[in-house]
Chain A
Amino acid sequence: MRWSGADVQIEKTDFVAIPSQDAERAAAFYGETLGLRSDEHSQYEFWAGDICLGIWEPAKMGMEFQPSKNGHVAFHVPDVAAAREELEGKGVTFNGETFDTGVCHMALFEDPDGNDLMLHNRYAPYSGDSAA
């Protein structure tokens, strides 16, 4: 398939930017509560597999902060129920019950700034045309 459109040559995702009102609090959440690997060069960047999450404060760039109630980053965990229980034990807020979509488990939660996140585990094989 030949790409059409504007041909901007997107090579990869460099990072996913997480807006925050308190970068220190956010860093503690992503690094300690979620246990993501911290970047060796930045105390506000954390890795989940191949994806770097970069915490930033929009107010410091003259931009308005609003929590992201969309754009859920889906963290793959081996057992959604177990991970949810552990995070709830640390005071993390989940939104609703854990879904079973028929191919995966999903549990929606928030970081301390109110940004939407997700625990995710697909248990169905990736054959055919099923969703992620």
Chain B
Amino acid sequence: MIDVERTDFVSVIVRDLERAKTFYGETLGIQPNTKAHASYPEFETGNLTISLRAEADHFTPSRTAIALRVPDVDAARTKLESVGVAFAGETFDTGVCHVAFFGDPDGNALMLHNRYALVGG
């Protein structure tokens, strides 16, 4: 059995690095790693590092959606929509959580997520 010790990062490929840096760092307000290499900017969500790199050719958007926890999905969605972020469909209430699908400027999959039910309850 291989020994997966942890998740080091999720690598998200974008077409325009500056646009993506503005989105993750300013629009979403995720803390940048100031020690990251300029060509591979990193954003720290607390437990997960999002590692960006640019690739213009053969680009396909990520379908590996990163579920970002916010205290209030509706409020966060409203704020993001007010600055032009496009969401896909309505916000779901799954019975245990609220989830809203959106994308970064290159269409890489993200979610706003908040679980309101107790885990295992």
Which residues of A are in contact with B by a Cβ distance under 8 Å?
1, 3-19, 34-36, 40-41, 48-51, 54, 66-78, 82-83, 86-87, 115-116, 118-120, 122, 126, 128-132
Interface core residue of B32, B64, B67, B83 (most chain A CB under 10 Å)? B64
Q: Does B111 contact A (CB under 8 A)?
A: yes
- Contact indicator A129/B28 (Cβ below 8 Å): no
The residue that B28 contacts in the complex, of A5, A51, A67, with Cβ under 8 A, is A5
Contacts of B79 in A (CB 8 A): 6-8
In the complex, are the beta carbons of B47 and A12 less than 8 A apart? yes
B10 interface neighbour in A5, A67, A72, A122, Cβ under 8 Å: A72
Interfacial residues of chain B within 17-49, with CB under 8 A of chain A in the complex: 25-32, 35-40, 42, 45-49
C-alpha spacing A73/B50, complex, angstroms: 10
Are A129's CB and B48's CB within 8 A?
A: no
18 other A-B residue contacts (CB within 8 Å) besides A13-B48, A41-B120: A3-B29, A5-B83, A6-B83, A13-B66, A14-B67, A16-B7, A17-B109, A35-B2, A49-B5, A49-B7, A68-B62, A71-B12, A73-B7, A73-B64, A76-B6, A77-B3, A120-B9, A131-B39
Q: CB distance A50 to B7 under 8 Å?
A: yes
Closest to A35 in B: B1
**Minimum CB–CB distance for A59 against chain B, Å:** 13
Q: Does B57 touch A at the CB level, under 8 Å? A: no
Q: Are B64's CB and A71's CB within 8 A?
A: yes
Residues of A within 8 A of B109 (CB): 17, 68, 71
14 cross-chain CB contacts under 8 A: A4-B26, A6-B79, A8-B79, A10-B69, A14-B113, A16-B7, A16-B48, A16-B66, A17-B109, A49-B6, A67-B63, A70-B108, A71-B62, A122-B8
- Scoring A1, A15, A34, A67 by chain B CB atoms within 10 A of each residue's CB, the highest score goes to A15
Say yes or no for B51: interface residue by CB 8 A criterion. yes
B residues within 8 A CB of A132?
8-9, 36, 40, 42, 49, 51
A76 in contact with B28 (CB, 8 Å): no
In the bound complex, CA of A130 to CA of B60 (Å): 26
Assess whether B29 is in contact with A6, with CB atoms less than 8 Å apart.
yes
Q: Chain B residues near A73 (CB, 8 Å)?
A: 7, 10, 64
Closest to B113 in A: A14
A16 touches B6 (CB 8 A): no
Would you call B56 an interface residue if the criterion is a C-beta within 8 Å of the partner chain's C-beta atoms? no
